[in-house]
Amino acid sequence: MKVNRFMENPLVTPGDVSPYHKGFEVIGAFNAGVCRYNGQIIMLLRVAERPVSQESGKVRIPVVNIAGGQGELRIIELDMEDSRFDFSDPRVVKDVKKGKAAYLTSLSYLRIARSRDGRRFTVDESPFLYPELPEESFGIEDPRITQIGDVYYITYSAVSEKGVGVGLVSTRDFTAYTRHGLIFPPENKDVVIFPEKIGGKYYALHRPVPKDLGAPEIWIAESHNLLHWGNHRYLLGLREGCWDSKRIGGGAVPIKTEKGWLEIYHAADGNDRYCMGAVLLDLNDPSRVIARTKGPILEPETEYEREGFFGNVVFSCGVLLEGDQVYIYYGVADSSMACAQLSLKEIMDALVEI
Amino acid sequence: MKVNRFMENPLVTPGDVSPYHKGFEVIGAFNAGVCRYNGQIIMLLRVAERPVSQESGKVRIPVVNIAGGQGELRIIELDMEDSRFDFSDPRVVKDVKKGKAAYLTSLSYLRIARSRDGRRFTVDESPFLYPELPEESFGIEDPRITQIGDVYYITYSAVSEKGVGVGLVSTRDFTAYTRHGLIFPPENKDVVIFPEKIGGKYYALHRPVPKDLGAPEIWIAESHNLLHWGNHRYLLGLREGCWDSKRIGGGAVPIKTEKGWLEIYHAADGNDRYCMGAVLLDLNDPSRVIARTKGPILEPETEYEREGFFGNVVFSCGVLLEGDQVYIYYGVADSSMACAQLSLKEIMDALVEI
């Protein structure tokens, strides 16, 4: 498959974003939702910031303390000699005894980057969406934008010590927004809402992470109003020994084609190498999987994809379509944003019936 | 607190239930949802069956293979010498490499026990609800029954290799029923639906089990139609060093009192000792916790509670109210059913404001 990466890549890097918090540095501007709005191309960036470390041997954890709807930034300082914690993953601090994450090393929120040509972006000065709910005290991550009529519905990961759930806000102008709370409880991520009703119902892909039985795989749910979801069904799973053997989740908002709904999804293998693949779902019953690409359609190859805060990652939360051209906007190495241009026909041709 | 256990306890034991599957034995008749229907008291039992083992050193796992809505019972035979698996927990077979459950050792489904006096029960000859969905291939467990008008809504754990989610069916006569699919995706359990709308919305307690951040704690969700759920919020958590330090989940359908919604919940400590406690939620806003009992109101003390398939467990999925008397029906030792009579006033008096 021919992958035309933009010459301008990476399009936005942490250096292009001024920190919102005093005394903080931006370490990531990545995993953006993408849409067209009012003649602009918008990337809704996940911006990750952390305190500029002032003392070696310490890790300073940013948390938004939320009480009565008011957020207050708080720093938790951990000693790297503290044997209760494992600091080996740059993204999270693990509780050794519990064998699971206790804190994130950075605080994420959503911030808009705007462009006329989809290549040169200007980043807004302040956040579009910042933690406000108790369930968002560790941050807001990985947005997807679905336009339905003139309303843009934005799903995102809501992270707190209570777990990772999925929140929903809607906006008409990317200035004001309405909050709709969490639409999926923990542990869930990677929710993409289909852009129209199918047989009278809205559909969404979601990615539960069960603790005991099961694996991080893609499910599908239904709704009448986008706020309340039900009829959850298992949809698409891991493939042992393949590039999508460890975790898999929805990526871009599904693209309507004559042959079905084309979903460009992400997956990782046992080495945490993240690639993008594609799957085709039935046009009238998206709970039916028709075909899937065998290999990835996009994988980390360039230096900006292989090296960074968390390397060997390409991770798309949104694409734009123009004729046969699919513009895959994607986060690279949990650091920056890039774009690659692929042929829709070539992606469709790569699908293998299941 | 005075706890009057029924003289007749245990009310139903595995010996009282004829196996539904040929060549199987009933190992549990427990964790029943409870309601009044047509002059009867109904216990909707979770019945667990397993193949009568014929060869020592083997474990035979029952699974319902579901294709096109048709279920077919299949047996997976595992060698107890197989080092890929850990057989130490009588309830599950663990995948050693993945460090998590791979199979259940028994297959559960729901079966009705009927009584006139709430003490002497007759068990129906065949199941009321049997696995039919792919998401139920490992069984159906732990029902709760909420009566709204003349419809009984039954939530239950739907278990498969894909995870543990929560299904919903409704019935008017405990003969015919309507399936509504899974209302909560994995990993979730212990869903109790409130018996009436509050401020124009239905509410339910649920218990996600997140893999990474978070713990098995109680959340609350809203719905307009009981089928689709949203606005998930964290509600009630673990207490370190207490009887409810490891996992906590909804038990009985909430009881409406003048002072608030009284929820009788279950919890376990680090030794997997399960007790029942109580929490009071605001009458008009059940997402607000008012008070909670410090200690348990019911704990495993008798022999039938301490000894059994999985001992030291009292686990209620439903209570009946008669004046000041709360009849707590509860599973004991993952084996049988029992009932204890407590004073509502005494439970209310034991609540401590938060």
- Could you report the per-residue pLDDT of A284-306, keeping only the tens digit for each? 999 999 999 999 999 999 999 99
Contact B185 A212 (CB under 8 A): no
Contact B183 A232 (CB under 8 A): yes
Q: What is chain B's alpha carbon radius of gyration, rounded to the nearest angstrom?
A: 19
Contact B163 A221 (CB under 8 A): no
> Counting beta carbons within 10 angstroms of the beta carbon of residue B72, is it exposed (0 to 12), middle (13 to 18) or buried (19 or more)?
exposed
The region, left, alpha or beta by phi > 0 then psi within -120 to 50, assigned to residue B199 is left
Is a pLDDT exceeding 70 seen at residue A270? yes
In the numeric block, which tokens belong to residue A75?
A: 């720093």
pLDDT band at B68 (very low <50, low <70, confident <90, very high): low
Domain count, chain A: 1
Per-residue burial over A292-331, b = 16 or more CB atoms within 10 Å of its CB, e = otherwise? bbeebbbbbeeebbeebbbbbbbbbbbbbeeeeebbbbbb
Confidence at residue B349, expressed as pLDDT on a 0 to 100 scale:
98
Distance from CA of B184 to the nearest CA of A (A): 7
Contact B208 A187 (CB under 8 A): yes
Which residue, B298, B315, B14, B305, is CA-closest to B144? B315
Contact B185 A165 (CB under 8 A): no
pLDDT band at A55 (very low <50, low <70, confident <90, very high): confident
Closest by Cβ to A101, choosing from B180, B181, B213? B213
Which residue, B186, B131, B120, B140, is CA-closest to B31? B140
| Chain B neighbors of A161, CB-CB under 8 A | 213-214
Q: Give the count of Cβ contacts less than 8 A between chain A and B.
A: 163
Q: What is chain A's alpha carbon radius of gyration, rounded to the nearest angstrom?
A: 19
pLDDT band at B66 (very low <50, low <70, confident <90, very high): confident
Find residue B141's DSSP bridge partners: B157
Confidence at residue B22, expressed as pLDDT on a 0 to 100 scale:
94
- Determine phi and psi for A8, rounding to 5 degrees: -80, -5
Q: Note the helical H segments in B205-293.
A: none
Amino acid, single-letter form, for residue B82: D
- Determine phi and psi for B350, rounding to 5 degrees: -80, -10
Please report, rounded to a whole number, the percentage of residues in chain A having pLDDT higher than 90: 94
Inter-residue contact A218 to A236 (CB < 8 Å)? yes
d(CA B327, CA B344): 10
| Chain B neighbors of A232, CB-CB under 8 A | 135, 165, 181-185
d(CA A28, CA A70): 25
Comparing alpha-carbon positions, the chain A residue that sits nearest to B208 is: A186
Amino acid, single-letter form, for residue A22: K
Closest by Cβ to A181, choosing from B138, B223, B231? B231
Is a pLDDT exceeding 70 seen at residue A192? yes
CB atoms within 10 A of CB B272: 13
Per the structure, the complete domain to which residue A263 belongs is given by 4-353
d(CA A248, CA A238): 7
| Chain A neighbors of B185, CB-CB under 8 A | 184, 188, 206, 208, 219, 221, 232
d(CA A111, CA A130): 9
DSSP B5-29: E-TT-SSB-GGGS--SSTTEEEEEE
| Chain A neighbors of B138, CB-CB under 8 A | 213
In the numeric block, which tokens belong to residue A296?
A: 């990835």
Contact A159 B233 (CB under 8 A): no
Q: pLDDT of A122-167, one tens digit each?
A: 999 999 999 999 999 999 999 999 999 999 999 999 999 999 999 9
Is a pLDDT exceeding 90 seen at residue A109? yes
Inter-residue contact B190 to B250 (CB < 8 Å)? yes
Contact A186 B213 (CB under 8 A): yes
Confidence at residue B69, expressed as pLDDT on a 0 to 100 scale:
64
Q: pLDDT of A196-223, one tens digit each?
A: 999 999 999 999 999 999 999 999 999 9
Identify the three-state secondary structure at position B304: helix
Distance from CA of B163 to the nearest CA of A (A): 4
- Segment B40-49 shows an average pLDDT of 98
Q: pLDDT of B81-114, one tens digit each?
A: 999 999 999 899 999 998 899 999 999 999 999 9
Inter-residue contact A252 to A169 (CB < 8 Å)? no
- Segment A261-277 shows an average pLDDT of 98
pLDDT band at B55 (very low <50, low <70, confident <90, very high): confident
Q: Is the ipTM of this complex over 0.85?
A: yes
Q: pLDDT of B173-194, one tens digit each?
A: 999 999 999 999 999 999 999 9
**How do beta strands B70-79 and B202-208 pair?**
unpaired
Which residues fall within 8 angstroms of residue A99, CB to CB, at 6 or more apart? none
d(CA B11, CA B9): 5
Confidence at residue A69, expressed as pLDDT on a 0 to 100 scale:
64
B19 preceded by a cis bond (ω within 30 of 0): no
> Does the CA dihedral A179-A183-A184-A189 come out positive or negative?
negative
Extended beta strands in A7-138, E state: 24-37, 40-51, 58-67, 70-79, 85-86, 92-95, 100-104, 107-115, 122-123
CATH number at residue B139: 2.115.10.20
Is a pLDDT exceeding 80 seen at residue A262? yes
Confidence at residue A54, expressed as pLDDT on a 0 to 100 scale:
73
In the numeric block, which tokens belong to residue A140?
A: 């807001």
| Chain A neighbors of B206, CB-CB under 8 A | 185
- Segment A75-94 shows an average pLDDT of 94
Average pLDDT, chain A: 96
d(CA A42, CA A36): 6
Confidence at residue A68, expressed as pLDDT on a 0 to 100 scale:
65
d(CA A101, CA B208): 17
The region, left, alpha or beta by phi > 0 then psi within -120 to 50, assigned to residue B180 is alpha
Find residue A157's DSSP bridge partners: A141, A166
Please report, rounded to a whole number, the percentage of residues in chain B having pLDDT higher than 70: 99
| Chain B neighbors of A164, CB-CB under 8 A | 210, 212-214
Confidence at residue B103, expressed as pLDDT on a 0 to 100 scale:
96
| Chain A neighbors of B237, CB-CB under 8 A | 162
Inter-residue contact A269 to A277 (CB < 8 Å)? no
